Structure 1
Amino acid sequence: MPRVVSVFLPNWPIDRFTRDQRAAPPSPEAPLILADREGSRRIVFAASEAARGRGVRIGMAVTQAQALVPGLAIRNADPRADAAGLERLALWAQRRYAPIVAADPPDGLVIDATGAAHLHGGETAMLRDVIARLAGAGVTARAAMADGWGAAHALARYGAERMVVAPESGSRDLVSALPVAALRLPGTMVADLNHLGFTRIGDLADQPRAPLALRFGPQLHRRLDQALGRLAEVIEAARPPDLIEVRQSFAEPIGAAETIARSIDRLVGDLCALLDAKGLGARRLDLVLHRVDAQAQAIRVGTAAPVRNATRLSRLLRDRIGSIDPGFGIEIMTLSAAWVEPCGPRQMTSLLAAAPEIDITDLIDTISNRIGADRLYRLAPVASDVPERCLSRIAPTAPPVGAGWPDHWPRPARLLPNPEAIETLALLPDHPPVSFTWRGIRRRVRRADGPERVFGEWWKRDAEMIAVRDYFRIEDDAGERFWVFRAGDGEHAATGSQQWFLHGIFG
């Protein structure tokens, strides 16, 4: 089932203008409009939220807007810069989320998320990430995911929520309740349909087609079928000018796994030859398969280091053949190196040279492309005495960070994600627990060592100015060893709650 994301940028011209004025950005509270010409009139092309809140509307004459809002800031609109910025935004989304991303002028993006959402934590998590990252860049966004471009486009712009995830095969019911304007029809056609009593998309779905087609032409039912998932739409993915890409067309559509595998081998060989000529290696490959029914499927694989070994890259792509649904056949295959880095020539090994280091990047690539690159990592030390802050996740092949863990006290092999409260019997202020209860099991302490006092990091939060923890290594009657701490110094309430927690388990 195809899954498509539509991203709606309701304030795109204003957001783009504001981002371009980095040296002296306008105040968000100051009313601002972008003006353009319509014949001999100057009209409001875009308006900031502050201006809209005072009654300014798109299409209004600039003189009328000035009369409504004294001190209104007026700048010239630049639709070409808006379109160019939208294309750059599409390329950013393509690098981050999925191989097939396109600009949806004048104020949106469309992403073919089929088979890609799980790499970002699921459909809902993917949409949240899109909206959050755009908001962090100063761009207001709404987003929707549905079974087709038409449905996602309608839900993103006319849905009740800022983020909508339509269930698979369930887009029709959601779209039917939306106004006819959500069908991407000309404004005059929408007005005529409303005049005839068609206010909702569902009002049109079951009407006889011939009378409506005679009056409004084929565009009405084409848009209706696209919104209801009856007709597929081709998404022409954005392409950077320096993209390294190879393409193969087939005289007869192909569908067998063996034929697809052979075609992948040929494409990878041609791509590696281009990479070798430029001294580059691939960090990410995008394979797009265009089917005869106008649907496209994409496979994305990544590597931990720049690679131009055809055998290795082919294996990564061939491992994903099982996820391909050829439908009635594939007529075109394109393979592009979406992310490249310099890759020098490989030195030949000599019998007199020292043994080369073991290269595990091939194994890393195989695992990360199966479970997701974000789920494969290694831990690196961070300069912090607070245990839960002394670790960070980095890429498996990242260089050493040049720091180490504290070695003056032993640390447990397993650190709990969050300290868990325990019930204890202990003599304050400096003695370890005599017994404790954790997860419903009471344990008697046989041996203990400590305390190790850890102070709060006052430069991060005021609440940690005088906060302390006293850590103890304890062993119960069964020989199991734990790492527990008391929040506070055991005497002064301001230093902590004086409650006990279990934070780690020794191997």
Structure 2
Amino acid sequence: MRRVVCICLPTWPTDRVRRKGRAIVPPDRPLVTVATQGPRRVLAAVDAAARRLGLRPGMPLAQAQGMVADLALVEAEPEEDAAGLRRLAGWCLAYAPLVAPDPPDGIFLESAGAAHLHGGEAAMLADLARRIRAGGFAVQLGLADTPGAAWAVARHAPRTPIVPPAGQGEALAPLPVRALRLPAEAAAGLEQLGLARIGQLRATPRAPLRLRFGEEVTARLDQALGAAAEPLAYLTPPEAPRARLAFAEPIGAPETLARVVERLTGLLARDLERRGLGARRLDLVFRRVDGLPQALRLGTARPSRDPAHLARLFGERLGGIDPGFGIEEASLCASRAEPLSARQIAAFAAPGEVDPDAMGELVDRLAVRLGPGRLFRAAPVESEWPERSVGRVPPLAPARGLTWPADLPRPGRLVDPPERVEAIAALPDAAPALFTWRGRRCRVARADGPERVFGEWWRSDAEVSAMRDYYRVEDQAGARYWLFRDAPAAEGGRWWLHGVGEA
């Protein structure tokens, strides 16, 4: 299913001027760009402060200066604005393989097949908005099944929405008709007829609409609702290694798509080998006969140019491709690549040695099936508290040079956070002789300890005087536990269970 993100940059020209530094203007001072329109000088773009004062693009400059005395003026540069928008669209290729500028102030992204790499649609939009705003640009986002619906909700919905699949009809109904990207004259004419909302327009017979407004009104409505296709002019990274296949007849069978992927990965692998590169991110794009693309994006844990491995990764995801009435072109691009030189393969592996390439391929296959954010390995962390002494790192992250102390045995499983237990000790500061955990009474047969651990005073004032006495105990049934007391018995120390299993 197609999913499209619309990035709306409502004050793109003025934000670009401020960021470029050509006009040192305080953020609260109104800033506009000015262009010549025939014999007149008019406002080409206005920032948020100017808009709040009633200024609008197209307003005569003399009228604007009469309304706002301290107005900051900069000459409009539409060519520079378009070039900057294209550069920003190129930056957005890090989020999705298909990105299309939408001048003068928008960008479209095809997020289907790529959103999961960023934690899902909501997480991807949040990160995209955060990074664009950090660059000094105002941004509004929308996501829907069609470019028209995404454009409408990004600019006219009360908040940044994610329209659920097939939900554009309900989402668009309360929005004004100008959200359909109609000419100002057509939108004004519809409002004069009482058709101010898209829901009202959708319920109106189409023949009178075509007779009065032409085909554009109904065409835009069909594009927004998904009843008509709307191809986009996507960017192509010029330097990225790529392979492309065109077909004399449209294809669509799953086994045919799998063979096409095998050919593409073979062609791409040869290109990568000539350049001494390995792919870290791959974008597979199928172009259907109706102009709509179907895209998949995959990442690899290590640089790779093994065609069989890359084809196998895509084979796990080809079931999500909708060929429609057929696919006429397929392309595979290594949108992110890293140096990968040839290396000698040992005839015999040393005992216990792990082949890094084989491990990388295993991680890639698991990431395709489980999701890239679900793979990790445990690594030691420098910390006195046991629950802080282990952390999650990427599965192929290099070792940090840290090891857990071999002379301090630890349980097989930590209970995090520690659970409160009721314990009885024969002596005030001795190991417990009996404790109750989760309603079960355990009588201690053997015990070892204490191992005293102090708090990390550099983290907080509360840990300056913190202390724990740990005991390894075994009950009469042979089960082993790791218990600690958080203060001496004389100070009212309480008992906690922090681990279970073999120590």
* TM bracket, shorter-chain basis: 0.7 to 0.9
* CA–CA separation in structure 1 for the residues paired with 2:167 and 2:235: 28
1:385 alignment partner in structure 2: 384
CA contact (8 A) 1:474 1:482 kept: yes
Percent of matched pairs sharing the same residue: 44
* CA–CA separation in structure 1 for the residues paired with 2:361 and 2:500: 33
State the Cα deviation string for residues 385-431 of structure 1 (Å, max 9, x = none): 34444444333222222333456644444345x51552535789966
CA contact (8 A) 1:234 1:295 kept: yes
1:86 alignment partner in structure 2: 85
CA contact (8 A) 2:97 2:297 kept: yes
* CA–CA separation in structure 1 for the residues paired with 2:424 and 2:220: 73
CA contact (8 A) 1:33 1:44 kept: no
Cα gap change, 1:465/1:240 in structure 2, threshold over 3 Å: closer, same or farther?
A: same
Using the TM superposition, give the Cα deviation of residue 175 of structure 1 relative to its aligned residue in structure 2, in angstroms.
0.7
The answer on 1:397 being equivalent to 2:396 is: yes
CA contact (8 A) 1:99 1:237 kept: no
CA contact (8 A) 1:419 1:503 kept: yes
**CA RMSD, aligned part only?**
3.5
Stretch of structure 1 that moved more, 30-39 or 403-412: 403-412
Instruction: Report the residue type matching 2:324 in the other structure.
Output: G
CA contact (8 A) 1:35 1:62 kept: no
1:46 alignment partner in structure 2: 46
* CA–CA separation in structure 2 for the residues paired with 1:113 and 1:8: 16
* CA–CA separation in structure 1 for the residues paired with 2:125 and 2:369: 22
Cα gap change, 1:66/1:253 in structure 2, threshold over 3 Å: closer, same or farther?
A: same
Stretch of structure 1 that moved more, 332-341 or 304-313: 304-313
Aligned pair count reads 494
Using the TM superposition, give the Cα deviation of residue 336 of structure 1 relative to its aligned residue in structure 2, in angstroms.
0.9
SS in 1 for 2:166: coil
Alignment map for 1:316-335 (pairs within 5 Å): 316-335=313-332
CA contact (8 A) 2:453 2:467 kept: yes
* CA–CA separation in structure 2 for the residues paired with 1:124 and 1:371: 19
* CA–CA separation in structure 1 for the residues paired with 2:116 and 2:223: 25
Cα gap change, 1:87/1:382 in structure 2, threshold over 3 Å: closer, same or farther?
A: farther
CA contact (8 A) 1:450 1:473 kept: yes
CA contact (8 A) 1:257 1:321 kept: yes
Instruction: Tell me the TM-score normalised to structure 1 length.
Output: 0.84
Pick from 319, 342, 347: which aligns with 1:345?
342
* CA–CA separation in structure 1 for the residues paired with 2:284 and 2:60: 49
* CA–CA separation in structure 2 for the residues paired with 1:141 and 1:405: 47
Using the TM superposition, give the Cα deviation of residue 251 of structure 1 relative to its aligned residue in structure 2, in angstroms.
1.1
Unaligned runs of 5+ in 2: none
Using the TM superposition, give the Cα deviation of residue 235 of structure 1 relative to its aligned residue in structure 2, in angstroms.
3.3
* CA–CA separation in structure 2 for the residues paired with 1:454 and 1:65: 68
State the Cα deviation string for residues 171-192 of structure 1 (Å, max 9, x = none): 2111111110110112222112
Unaligned runs of 5+ in 1: none
CA contact (8 A) 1:453 1:470 kept: yes
SS in 2 for 1:450: strand
Instruction: Tell me the TM-score normalised to structure 2 length.
Output: 0.85
* CA–CA separation in structure 1 for the residues paired with 2:280 and 2:463: 45
SS in 2 for 1:192: helix
Pair member with larger Rg: 2
SS in 1 for 2:200: helix
* CA–CA separation in structure 2 for the residues paired with 1:180 and 1:293: 27
* CA–CA separation in structure 2 for the residues paired with 1:32 and 1:305: 50
2:189 alignment partner in structure 1: 192
SS in 1 for 2:124: helix
CA contact (8 A) 1:473 1:481 kept: no
* CA–CA separation in structure 1 for the residues paired with 2:187 and 2:487: 68
Cα gap change, 1:134/1:430 in structure 2, threshold over 3 Å: closer, same or farther?
A: farther
